[in-house]
Amino acid sequence: MMDKNKVLAIATFIMILVGLGMIALGAFKYDEVAGYGFAAVGIGFFAVAWVFNALKGRV
C-alpha cells in the first residue's frame, strides 16, 4: 500500500528526473535562446520537487 509520503517521494524523484532532462536539453540540444528557456523550466521543476520533498510528513 502506498501512503501519502511514498507518493510524494515518487513524485519528487520524477520531478528531479524531468528537471535534469530539461536542463540537459537546454545545454546540449538547443544552442539558441530556446536553450535558456529549457534550462529555466528545468530549474522550475527542481523548485517544485523541493516543495514536494518539504511536504513529506506534513500533509
What residues does each domain of the chain span? 4-55
Highest mean pLDDT out of 1-5, 33-37, 54-58: 33-37
Mean per-residue pLDDT, 16-37: 92
30-46 in b/e form (b: 16+ CB < 10 A) is eeeeebeebbeebeebb
Q: Residue 1's pLDDT is what?
A: 80
Tens digits of residue pLDDT in 28-50: 998 889 999 999 999 999 999 99
Q: Residue 52's pLDDT is what?
A: 87
